[in-house]
Amino acid sequence: MYTERLYYDYAAPEPFSAEIRELRPLGDLTALLLDKTIFYPEGGGQEGDRGSINGVPLVDVKESADAEILHLVAAVGNLMPGPATLLLDSRRRRDFTVQHSAQHLLSGTILRLTGNHTVSMHLGPESNTIDVDVPELPPGVLTRVEDAVADAVESDVPLVIHLCPPEDITKFPLRKVPPRGEEVIRVVEITGNDFSPCCGTHCASTGQIGIVKILGAERYKGMTRVSFIAGRRVLAEHRVLRRNGEIISRALKVPVAETGAGVLALLERGAAVERELKELREAAAETKAGALLAKVPVPVKTALPAKVPVPAENAVCAGPVPGEGPLLVAEIYDGSFDEVLRIGRAAQKKTTTILLLASGTERKFAAFCSAKGVDLRSLLAAAMEQRGGKGGGGAGYFQGVFESRDALESFLGDMI
């Protein structure tokens, strides 16, 4: 069905009258076909417009393979063939028009300054990208491009639309290959900057684009993917960055322009404090390990008996072996489990006695034994599980956690 296309000339927020000619089911959606439309259908790298028809919001606007314009709605509501009021989301349209025009200007400028072509582009709801046919665009080049684009914006040169029959298209120095099979090719000229075949919506002059900001450039499939924003998006982003810059500036007591160096200096100081803290924690663990080892009534580095008794079922037996002193020393700490691990690791180097250490606050325990022939699993697992604990480990290291401190203490009490 033929629909008169008025979207190039209509971008206003005021209601527009048209007629619904057909409602056509399309998967989960319904496509409305109109006698005329102000809604731009997705194409040329630009998303379809949004808005409403008789108050029913548009999910998307697309062009079918037969060049029909499909206005897609999720719920039909009271829509029916007949008169309809179209309402365009003009703010969104304006935003995409600005981003799209900025893309032309940016791609044209990169071509003019570096000789590299834009191979593809994407206009997103937050930021946009172009893929430039060169492996790298150094930061200095990107800054020159930004400045040249800003010059063109300040010059406020017109964007001129040429409707050209295919046979005459060679008279334009086009930046990219024109589409085939079109009766008329639409060429968008940015005076002095760029000629590009395009069906999207565009600003009337470069001054309407406002500032164009390149956000970054990265390698992508042998090309360079340049991300950018334009117009009010630059303003919105600047507000966010300024707000964050001021927070950091106040916190670090440095000017906004020096917040980067200020943060790096802070991180360096933080790393030095971390290193010092680690050393102090290790030293504290050594001291506590010494106190723990003092409770072992056998000389340190004393070998265990060749065979450590394995507890019988339902029995927790790691206690004294005649003539050898206790095989196991248990301790509960108020600190974190990390601290318990540090103490255990430090003490383990100086004894072959089994160390059963726990964090009361985290209800976790760890057992260490550096003696050969000891299997902590067979020594501890059954007793742990009997009190609802969960855990695991190997012959020389075993850890677990209990649901309550009482269960943990009961477990430790039984083991010594």
- The residues binding Zn ion (CB under 5 A) are 198, 200
Residue type, 403: E
CB 367, CB 355: distance < 8 Å:
yes
Name the minimum Å distance from CB 126 to Zn ion: 19
Between 41 and 200, name the residue whose CB sits nearer to Zn ion.
200
CB of 123 to Zn ion, least distance (A): 10
The minimum distance between CB 133 and Zn ion, in angstroms, equals: 19
Q: By Cβ distance, which residue is nearest to Zn ion?
A: 198
Residue 76 sits at φ, ψ, to 5 deg, of: -75, -35
Smallest separation, CB 100 to Zn ion (Å): 5
Q: CA separation (Å) from 129 to 122, 146, 149, 225, 237?
A: 5, 15, 16, 6, 16
Residue 124 phi, psi dihedral angles, 5° rounding: -105, 170
**Can you tell me the distance from the alpha carbon of 342 to that of 287, in angstroms, rounded to the nearest whole number?**
11
Tokens, residue 369? 């034994």
Question: Quick one: 157 or 248, whose CB is closer to Zn ion?
Answer: 157
Least spacing, CB of residue 164 vs Zn ion, in Å: 15
Which CB atom, from 200 or from 262, has the smaller least distance to Zn ion? Answer: 200
Output 37 or 107, the one with its CB closest to Zn ion: 107
Select 3 or 46, whichever has its Cβ closest to Zn ion: 46
Residue 200 or 210 with smaller CB distance to Zn ion: 200
Q: For Zn ion, which is the closer residue by CB, 190 or 289?
A: 190
- In the complex, minimum distance from the CB of residue 104 to Zn ion, in angstroms, rounded to a whole number: 5
Minimum distance from residue 252 beta carbon to Zn ion (Å)? 44
Q: Report, in Å, the least distance between residue 197 CB and Zn ion.
A: 9
Nearer to Zn ion, 149 or 304 (CB): 149
The Cα 20–Cα 36 span in angstroms is 9
Beta carbon of residue 176, minimum distance to Zn ion (angstroms, whole number)? 10
Beta bridge partners of 391: 400
Is 198 or 346 the residue whose CB approaches Zn ion more closely?
198
